[in-house]
Amino acid sequence: MSIDKHLEPSFDLISKLSANPEFEISESNTVLDGCNISLDISRDGIRFRGVRNQYLKDDNANSVSAVLTNNKIVMKVENLIVSSISLHASKTSLKHSFSGVINSISSNAGKDVAFWRLMIPSGKSNNSNEQYFETSFFSSEQYDTIRGLVKISIDAREFHFYEYTYTGEQYFIIDSTTEMKFLEFSNIAYSIIMGIGFITGVMPGDIAWYVSSEDNDYGIDLRLRCYVMRESINSVYCLLHTNPHSYIKDHSEAQKYSDVLKPIPSQVFVNLCKKIHDNHRLRNTVMVFIEANKLPLEIRLFSYAVALEAMTGIISVDYETKIHPIKDRSKRKRIVKKLKTALNAMMDEIDEEEQKFVMNRIDQICTPRNQDKLIKPFEILGIQLSSEERDILGIRNILLHGSPVDPKKVPLQSAENYQAAYYVALHLHSLVSRLILKYIDYNGYIVNYLKVYEKIIKYNDRQNTFYEI
């Protein structure tokens, strides 16, 4: 059964603001009051230009709130910042032109508790949700039936994520199906966006339109907010894919995977989004991982190493009793206490520096070695490590100290520096992604980028292009 989506009123509201960009500033309590400005809202942000006949100091309008009005629209703005001022003199006049940026604009009224819709323009997208997610059908005023709606339930609330093309522009859209506060919705929506970015390698951003409504059909008393987001991320590193021909040129070889490559199960994707929303450490780790996918190779290496360290730490906390060699916490405390008692009996025989050294070692005596802490999370989640991957875990410690990859430390023939770095980066990408996928209970096939790029790094990987975890 198709889900009806009422989208034209939301797009009309955005178009109305874009078609009427001339405003007068008021209620800023600065010299900007009474000035006329022209707004330019695009994926580059919210920018403005204006002209004032009187002298304008650059410190008179720094990060202010104000109201923008014209004969059709009233908008409230936050963090209006004048970034450039120039003087234009003629025989008859002296004018100051100014320009700057705005962090957010919103309708001047409206309820905070409402049905909320997030709309992010993303240009033209070649991705289809059904390649990655389990999807449902939906319809709109423009199309009778469209496939690609993803249902996500978080905290007993259902959200819909889908992509939609309007006047040639692709939009990522997330709808709430129940009333909720704006901050609550925006936080959950951002967790969903991060989940999308983790799975597909593409995380929408730049500019975000929020539409609120008094009904879940988004047709009554619509209000509009526009916020500048972090930059969108477009990388080639999707973790799973249902089309083997995207990665394998040989048709007969690709056909072997046609029946086994599946979208991520809905409940597993919900697990990912919910854990990102609930666990700030995981949220930061996933964000580092997604950002690393588009960074230059030298920086990407270090970012993956940081994400791996953070992820093993998260799992170590969740599975503390399985990580420690001595499972009983009270027993660990008794061992430390008795060792310190023995040390205290020798205080007359050792100096202060020696006491500090031994005391520190005693405090750490029941703590597993760093290498064990790195390997144990993989064992706990049932991930088998190859000998090459165990070597990579050792290299990761070098990376965390800012040292480059030594080509002699990797099993490549006549490796150049970039090939050695690429080899390590692809291994780290695999290690981090598998940890997170197993952490959210994913079982299925993933893309093996070591195989995809083996000709570039001159490495014959033993695994297939897709393999099961």
Residue pLDDT, tens place only, 4-18: 999 999 999 899 888
133 and 219: one domain?
Answer: yes
79 and 148: one domain?
Answer: no
Last residue of some domain: 107, 140, 167?
107
180 and 74: one domain?
Answer: no
Phi, psi of 157 (to 5 degrees): -120, 140
40-44, 81-85, 263-267, 411-415: which range is least confident on average?
A: 411-415
Residue 282 is assigned to a structural domain of this protein: no
Distance CA 67, CA 35 (A): 11
Cβ-based neighbours of 358, under 8 Å, separated by 6 or more: 343, 350
Identify the pLDDT of residue 324: 66
Burial class (CB in 10 A: 0-12, 13-18, 19+), 203: buried
Summarize the confidence of residues 122-136 as an average pLDDT.
80
Whether residue 397 contacts residue 339, with contact meaning beta carbons closer than 8 Å, is answered with no
Task: Name the domain count of the chain.
Answer: 4
Nearest-5° Cα angle at 430, 426 to 432 = 115
State which residues form the domain around 149: 3-8+110-234
What's the chain's length in residues?
469
Instruction: Kindly tell me if the per-residue pLDDT of 126 is higher than 60.
Output: no
Cβ-based neighbours of 32, under 8 Å, separated by 6 or more: 25, 50, 52, 56, 60, 61, 64, 66, 80, 82
Identify the pLDDT of residue 94: 67
Instruction: Kindly tell me if the per-residue pLDDT of 366 is higher than 80.
Output: no
227 and 114: one domain?
Answer: yes
Instruction: Kindly tell me if the per-residue pLDDT of 2 is higher than 90.
Output: no
Instruction: Kindly tell me if the per-residue pLDDT of 38 is higher than 60.
Output: yes
Instruction: Kindly tell me if the per-residue pLDDT of 397 is higher than 80.
Output: no
Instruction: Kindly tell me if the per-residue pLDDT of 211 is higher than 90.
Output: yes
Residue 247 is assigned to a structural domain of this protein: no
Summarize the confidence of residues 339-347 as an average pLDDT.
80
15 and 65: one domain?
Answer: yes
Residue 163 is assigned to a structural domain of this protein: yes
Phi, psi of 388 (to 5 degrees): -65, -40
Identify the pLDDT of residue 195: 97
**Measured distance between the N- and C-terminal CA atoms of the chain, rounded to whole angstroms:** 33
Which range of 51-60, 87-96, 263-272 scores highest in mean pLDDT? It is 263-272
- What angle do helix axes 280-292 and 417-439 make, rounded to 10 degrees? 150
Residue 170 is assigned to a structural domain of this protein: yes
192 and 334: one domain?
Answer: no
Nearest to 10 by CA among 137, 171, 150: 171
Identify the pLDDT of residue 360: 80
Residue 452 one-letter amino acid: V
143 and 188: one domain?
Answer: yes
Summarize the confidence of residues 316-332 as an average pLDDT.
72
Identify the pLDDT of residue 199: 97
Residue 281 is assigned to a structural domain of this protein: no
Identify the pLDDT of residue 109: 66
Identify the pLDDT of residue 234: 92
406 and 464: one domain?
Answer: yes
Last residue of some domain: 344, 363, 382?
363
pLDDT band, residue 40 (cuts 50/70/90):
very high
Last residue of some domain: 72, 87, 107?
107
Taken in order 31, 32, 33, 36, the sign of the CA dihedral is positive
51-55, 119-123, 160-164, 175-179: which range is least confident on average?
A: 51-55
Identify the pLDDT of residue 462: 79
228 and 350: one domain?
Answer: no
Instruction: Kindly tell me if the per-residue pLDDT of 402 is higher than 80.
Output: no
How does the average pLDDT of the chain come out, rounded? 86
pLDDT band, residue 455 (cuts 50/70/90):
confident
Residue 69 is assigned to a structural domain of this protein: yes
184-193, 338-347, 458-467: which range is least confident on average?
A: 338-347
Which range of 138-142, 266-270, 359-363 scores highest in mean pLDDT? It is 266-270
Residue 278 is assigned to a structural domain of this protein: no
Summarize the confidence of residues 360-389 as an average pLDDT.
81
356 and 398: one domain?
Answer: no
Residue 285 is assigned to a structural domain of this protein: no
Identify the pLDDT of residue 123: 74
Instruction: Kindly tell me if the per-residue pLDDT of 120 is higher than 90.
Output: yes
Summarize the confidence of residues 243-258 as an average pLDDT.
91
199 and 311: one domain?
Answer: no
Instruction: Kindly tell me if the per-residue pLDDT of 119 is higher than 60.
Output: yes
Identify the pLDDT of residue 284: 96
Instruction: Kindly tell me if the per-residue pLDDT of 50 is higher than 70.
Output: yes
Identify the pLDDT of residue 152: 95
355 and 462: one domain?
Answer: no
Identify the pLDDT of residue 108: 65
pLDDT band, residue 112 (cuts 50/70/90):
confident
